[in-house]
A = this chain, B = another copy of it.
Amino acid sequence: MVKRGLIIGRFQPFHKGHLYVVKHVLEEVDEVVIVVGSAQYSHRLDNPFTVGERLLMIRQALQEAQIPLSKCWLIPVPDLHVHMLWVSQVIGYTPKFQIIYTNEPLTKRLFEEAGFNVKPIPFHKRKIYSATEIRNRMLNGKNWKTLVPRAVARNIEKISGVKRIQELAKTDKV
């Protein structure tokens, strides 16, 4: 039987820390299921990219890192904002998996309450490999490209992603 490990993130954007996690999981299981959460959101300061844009970035980053696509699942899942339903939502959108890898306290709690095997992720330079840090650097015109795979940087440039974030910072819309 195929053994699968699942990770969940918004990947706004996908960075080298995420890539490190994917590789780590693939050392322990056959396939990694990458759930791209908050799928419906985009064009917000903390959720700047559409899920289509994020899928493209992640996939090209995986290919660049020579991780076989046959070992990866990339699945967008929309938020429900109703936590009692979240585990079922994830189960319904994904192939059967045995382990969930997360350090996020709420995700950990919800999957543990549902009886899942939850494992922590050994973080790698967590302070700087952080999507919040990267978005802040973009916003302030600082260097962010070294924190993400080249394929991600290339895609963000193609869609003028930095300019989008700088413009979103000026809105007060929610």
Spell out A's residues near B (CB within 8 Å): 39-44, 50-53, 55-56, 59, 63, 69-70, 73, 75-78, 80-85, 87-89, 91-96, 104-110, 164, 167-171, 173-174
Contact = CB atoms under 8 A, between A and B. Distances in A.
A105 B109 CA distance: 32
B83 A42 contact: yes
Contact of A84 (B69, B70, B83, B92): B92
B89 A52 contact: no
Given A76-B77, A106-B173, 8 more contacts: A43-B106, A52-B95, A55-B73, A56-B96, A69-B70, A78-B78, A87-B88, A104-B173
Contact of A82 (B40, B73, B110): B40
30 contacts: A40-B84, A40-B92, A41-B82, A42-B84, A43-B83, A43-B84, A43-B109, A43-B110, A44-B83, A50-B91, A50-B93, A52-B75, A52-B92, A52-B95, A52-B96, A56-B95, A59-B73, A69-B70, A84-B88, A84-B91, A84-B92, A85-B89, A88-B88, A105-B169, A105-B171, A106-B171, A106-B173, A107-B173, A109-B164, A109-B168
Nearest to A83: B43
A79 to B, nearest CB: 9
